Structure formats: structure tokens, C-alpha cells
Structure 1
Amino acid sequence: MPTPNPAAMDFLLTRRSRPSKTLTAPAPDRATLETLLTAAARSPDHGKLEPWRFIVLEGAALHRMATEVEKTGQRLGKDIEAIAKAANAFRDSPLCVAVIEVQKPSEKVPPLEQTYSAGAVCLALLNAALASGWGANWLSGWASHDRQFLTDALHLADNESLAAFMHIGTETSAPPDRPRPDLSRITTWLDA
């Protein structure tokens, strides 16, 4: 008979990301953030490849990221509102962790499984932050899909891409829950 963890299950059934625009300082300190990152790094990782890494963005680094987003938006011909919204996500953020997918050569673990592992790390970091009482939001955005932005702003190697910008801070307001998937529409039960 399994040993249940009702508190963990209640958290998972009620968890809700916090919009990044509602997050403010203080953000987790270094020791607290290291605990959250440790929890995230316990994600499934076939072959023990660690096909991900973290870049912690704070203070001046967040303002530099906002400037890089503005430059990228102008280069890509984005409208001024889209540029401002994307830049302000960094400028207004108390802390951001860039989760970087790192594709590694492997005969046993195909690239797609490495991508899944990076996604698992993102969800684990989000849930670790929320379970610790912080507000957190997983974002990406148009700039994160631009190779030049990733190279210029984050100095990513050719085998690296962005899995998430995870904004973490103190929530200023709790959002209402949103409609959730209808389980009967997305589940197929097979018994033979």
C-alpha cells in the first residue's frame, strides 16, 4: 500500500502560477534560491546527462536583458508595445532564472528526451518556488526564439537554447484560478 503525501497532492491540485507583472521584491536570497535550484535539478534525467543549466539574472543583469530585448525587437521589426511589454518583464522583475537546455551527444538519450528533461526542470523550479511561498511565472516570449538574442544576451553555445525565463519574487496579488482541462476529453482508458 502506498504512503500518501496529502499536503503535496493538495499543492499539486491547487497550484497556480503568478503573473510576472504582479511580482515584486524581495526575491529569494542566494541560499534560498540554491535550495530551489537543487529541487529543480532532481528532475528526471535519463542517462544522467544534465541537459540543462541555470543562469541567475539579478539587478543590473535584468536591466541589460531589457536593453537586449529592445535591440532585438527593433531588429526584428516588432511594434513598440510588444517591445515594451517584453523588456518590462525583465526591467520590473526582482529575479529571473534562465533555464538553459543543453543538448549533449548521446547514443542512449535522444535529443527529444533531453528537451523533456529540460521542461521537467522548468516545472520543478516553478513548483519549488510556489511551494516555498514565492510567486513565480514561467515565460519565454518572442526574443527567446531569436538565435542572435540568445547569443548576445545570454552567450549561449550552438547546442544550447532557452527553455524558460522563470521570474520569481513576492506576489502582490493572488490571481483567480482559470478554467482547467476537462479530464474526460483528454483521457483515454485502455484495458486490453
Structure 2
Amino acid sequence: MPVPNPQALEFLLTRRSRPAKTLTTPVPDRAALQTLLEAAARTPDHGKLEPWRFIVIDRAAMAPLAELAQARGEALGLDSEQIVKGRGQFDQGNLAVAVIEVQKDSPKIPILEQTYSAGAVCLALVNAGLAAGWGANWLSGWASHDRAFMEQGFGLAAHERIAGIIHIGTETSTPPDRPRPDLEKITTWL
């Protein structure tokens, strides 16, 4: 007979990411962040490959990343609105964790499953932050997918890429809930 955890289920049924631009200080200290990272690292990873790692971005590291996003946006010929958006998460950020997908050779575990695992780590980190009482948001954007930005800003190797950048901080406002999927339209019962 299963043993229910109604508090955990209620959390999952009502969880809501907090927009990164609404997060402020204080942010988790190193010990508190370590706990969140431990929770995220419990994500299933098919074959125990651990096809991901973390890069913590503190406030001091945000400004150089914002400048790099600006430079990369200009080099790519993006319009000013895209450039402002690309650097915005770093201009406004106080603490974030880049979840890095680390693709590993495996005769049993396809790369796609490793990608899924890295994405699951992103959601687990958001949920851990929210469960601990922080505001949290998973962002990506064009800069996160630009190879030069990944290599210059984070020192990523060719077999690595950014799965997501998770911003964590104190929420300044609770966002309204958004419409959720109609389960009748997206569920098939066999």
C-alpha cells in the first residue's frame, strides 16, 4: 500500500515559477544553495552517468556575462531588442546556477536521454528552490545556445552545453497562476 505525502503533492499541484526579473536579494548562502544542488542532483540519469554539472553565477560574475552577451549579440547581428533581452538576465541577476549538460559516450544511454536528464535537473533545481521558500526561474534564451557565449563565458568544452540557467532569490511579488493544460485534450488512455 503506498504511503502518500499530501504536502509534497500539494506543492507540485500549486508550484509556480517566479519571473527572474522579480527576484532580488537576499539570495541563498553557500550552505543553503548546496542543499538545493543536492536535491537537484537526485534526478534520474539513466545509467548513473551524471550527464550534467553546475556552474554557480554570483552577483560579481553577472556583469561580465552581460557584457559578453552584448558583444555576442552584436557579432551575430541581432537587433537591439534581442541584445537587451539576452543580457537582461545577467544585468538583473543576483544568483543563478547554470545547469550544464555533459554529453558522455555510452553504449547503452543515448545522448537524447542525457539531454532529458539535464532538463530534469533544471526543473528539480527550480522546485528545490521553491520548496525551500525562495523564488526560482529557469531561463535560457539565445545567448545560452550560442557556442561562443558558452565557451567564452563558462569555459564549456565541445561536448557540453547550457541546459538552463536557474535564477534563485527572494521574490518581490507572487505572480498570478497561469492557464494550465486541458488534460482531456492532451491525455490518451490505452
TM-score of the pair, normalised by structure 1: 0.97
Q: Number of aligned pairs? A: 190
In the TM superposition, what is the alpha-carbon distance from 1:64 to its structure 2 partner? Answer: 0.8
1:79-98 Cα shifts (integer Å, max 9, x gaps): 22221222121121110100
Q: Is the aligned partner of 1:11 residue 2:14?
A: no
Q: Distance in 1 between matches of 2:163 and 2:93?
A: 18
In the TM superposition, what is the alpha-carbon distance from 1:72 to its structure 2 partner? Answer: 0.8
Q: Which amino acid aligns with 1:53?
A: R
- 1:98 — aligned with what? 98
Q: Which amino acid aligns with 2:146?
A: D
- 2:58 — aligned with what? 58
- 1:135 — aligned with what? 135
- 1:126 — aligned with what? 126
- 1:27 — aligned with what? 27
Q: Which amino acid aligns with 1:54?
A: F
Q: Which amino acid aligns with 1:104?
A: K
Q: Distance in 2 between matches of 1:93 and 1:146?
A: 19
1:97-156 Cα shifts (integer Å, max 9, x gaps): 000000001011111111111011111000000011100110000111111111111110
Percent identity, aligned pairs only, is 67
Q: Distance in 2 between matches of 1:139 and 1:33?
A: 18
Q: Distance in 2 between matches of 1:101 and 1:151?
A: 13
Q: Which amino acid aligns with 1:17?
A: S
Runs (4 or more) in structure 1 with deviation over 3 Å come to none
Alpha-carbon RMSD across the aligned residues, in angstroms, is 0.7
- 1:112 — aligned with what? 112
Structure 2: tracts of 5 or more residues without a match: none
TM-score of the pair, normalised by structure 2: 0.98
